[in-house]
């Protein structure tokens, strides 16, 4: 009986030793360490989503299996999609990286919050939890001009400009003032140089309040100097507003405008001309720019069905607003052309003030005559002329014969 007791005691010792060995290699093995936690954007903004990156390191002599990372939903944070992620195995002294998308509650205050992160493994199912600090900031309004109704203006124009402003911040903005300022320069002598674009009437628009993500449109009228140079301009816009504790913020930004004008070309005959079959005629043209924009690289291509144009292409180059250019060319009219109203077709290619190539086609009416109709129009019927010549010859012959008879 004593021997049985000793044998049982020995077996228990062996079991304890085996258990301790297994425990030392398994249960006592610490789970992987969380060695680095970062998040973006930093600081976190209420009402937005942050990406939380977690780096794990296995500092043990054995591999860690079935590693999981779990994040607890704790105000003001809420994990999007899965709260627990399966990492799998991490070899000894190995590393792993995972991330979570976390939503920040819009009501979060400007302060530092903590979020619990738990890591477990097959070897350490109890796991380990750490609390990561996350800074939340941005519970402030932010008013920006996000759009204007028109960026193109014309010299001499008065135009209502719609300014769309939006609260891009995370709290309500109050007592919002939008002011379009005239950009003026004061030279050393004290003379004020006025700019080409100026506000008309009140250059201020007022909005009582804007909630986060709310947008509103206000109108300010501007005037463009008639002599304004066609180019890009900027005007300063100042926006000021108060937050929920009465602190006022002010910011000035520049709004870009482009003063440009439409090109309006017209081509006419410099003087009235009528074309006659079988003849060559010199024709003079005048090209007008009736628009407010300057045309560049202007080329005119002439064509007609009544004959041959000697110089079909005419290069004009640039043509300023309210300007004119002229050119000449010859047209050889076909011999068999009939009397008719016809056209000379002019295709004009040019670049406008936006450097966009455009084409305009102008049809110029012109009168043509056959040779017979032209002679009749001039009262020079060839048959009548022949008859008159014959009569004159007869008269002259009769007078000569009469004189000869008198001498005899």
The dihedrals phi and psi of 353, each to the nearest 5 degrees, come to -70, -15
Q: Which two tokens stand for residue 142?
A: 């932010």
Pair 149, 243 in one domain: yes
Domain assignment of residue 281, yes or no: yes
Q: Which domain holds residue 312?
A: 265-377
Instruction: Check: CB of residue 127 under 8 Å from CB of residue 119.
Output: yes
pLDDT of residue 7: 58
Closest alpha carbon to 253 in 244, 241, 240: 240
The dihedrals phi and psi of 256, each to the nearest 5 degrees, come to -90, 135
Domain assignment of residue 384, yes or no: no
Domain assignment of residue 397, yes or no: no
Pair 247, 304 in one domain: no
Walking along the chain (408 residues) 10 residues at a time, the average pLDDT comes out as: 54 55 51 90 88 91 89 93 88 90 87 92 87 85 87 85 88 91 63 74 88 90 84 88 88 86 90 88 92 90 91 92 92 89 93 89 91 74 66 80 68
Assign residue 296 the CATH number of its domain.
Answer: 2.60.40.10
Rounded Cα–Cα distance for residues 141 and 213 (Å): 10
Give the gyration radius of the chain's Cα atoms.
47
Domain assignment of residue 255, yes or no: yes
Pair 73, 181 in one domain: no
pLDDT of residue 8: 60
- Domain limit, last residue, from 224, 259, 294: 259
Q: Concatenate the DSSP letters of all residues of 268-322 into one string.
A: EESS--EEETT-EEEEEEEEEE-SSS-EEEEEEEEE-SSEEES--EEEEEEE-TT
- Domain limit, last residue, from 259, 294, 314: 259
Domain assignment of residue 367, yes or no: yes
Instruction: Check: CB of residue 70 under 8 Å from CB of residue 86.
Output: no
pLDDT of residue 166: 93
Domain assignment of residue 326, yes or no: yes
Q: Which two tokens stand for residue 87?
A: 């990492």
pLDDT of residue 27: 46
Query: What is the pTM for the complete model shown?
Result: 0.50
Domain count, the chain: 3
pLDDT of residue 182: 67
- Domain limit, last residue, from 87, 121, 136: 136
Closest alpha carbon to 79 in 96, 66, 65, 98: 98
């Amino acid at each position: 009986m004593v021997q049985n007791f000793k044998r049982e005691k020995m077996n228990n010792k062996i079991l304890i030793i085996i258990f301790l060995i297994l425990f030392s290699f398994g249960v006592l093995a610490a789970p992987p360490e969380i060695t680095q936690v970062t998040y973006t954007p930093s600081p976190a903004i209420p009402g937005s989503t942050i990406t939380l990156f977690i780096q794990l390191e296995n500092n043990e002599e054995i591999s860690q299996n079935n590693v999981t990372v779990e994040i607890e939903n704790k105000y003001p944070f809420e994990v999007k999609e899965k709260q627990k992620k399966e990492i799998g195995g991490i070899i000894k002294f190995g590393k792993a990286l995972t991330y979570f998308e976390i939503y920040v509650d819009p009501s979060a205050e400007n302060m530092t919050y903590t979020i619990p992160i738990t890591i477990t493994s097959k070897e350490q199912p109890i796991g380990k939890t750490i609390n990561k600090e996350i800074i939340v900031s941005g519970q402030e309004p932010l008013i920006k001009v996000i759009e204007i109704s028109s960026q193109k203006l014309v010299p001499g124009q008065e135009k209502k400009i719609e300014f769309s402003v939006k609260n891009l911040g995370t709290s309500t903005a109050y007592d919002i003032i939008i002011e379009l300022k005239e950009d003026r320069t004061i030279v050393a002598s004290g003379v004020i140089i006025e700019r080409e674009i100026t506000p008309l009437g009140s250059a201020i628009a007022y909005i009582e309040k804007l909630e986060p993500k709310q947008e509103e449109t206000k109108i300010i009228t501007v005037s463009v100097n008639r002599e304004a140079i066609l180019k890009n301009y900027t005007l300063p816009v100042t926006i000021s507003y108060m937050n929920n504790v009465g602190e006022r913020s002010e910011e000035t930004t520049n709004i870009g405008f482009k003063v440009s004008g439409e090109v309006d070309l017209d081509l006419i005959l410099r003087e009235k001309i009528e074309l006659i079959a079988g003849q060559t005629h010199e024709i003079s043209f005048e090209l007008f720019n009736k628009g407010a924009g300057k045309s560049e690289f202007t080329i005119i291509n002439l064509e007609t069905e009544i004959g041959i144009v000697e110089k079909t292409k005419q290069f004009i180059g640039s043509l300023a607003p309210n300007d004119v250019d002229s050119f000449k060319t010859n047209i050889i009219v076909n011999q068999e052309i009939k009397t008719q109203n016809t056209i000379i077709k002019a295709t004009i290619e040019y670049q406008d003030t936006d450097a966009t190539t455009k084409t305009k086609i102008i049809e110029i009416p012109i009168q043509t005559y056959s040779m017979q109709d032209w002679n009749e129009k001039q009262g020079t019927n060839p048959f009548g002329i022949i008859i008159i010549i014959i009569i004159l010859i007869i008269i002259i012959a009769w007078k000569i014969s009469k004189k000869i008879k008198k001498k005899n």
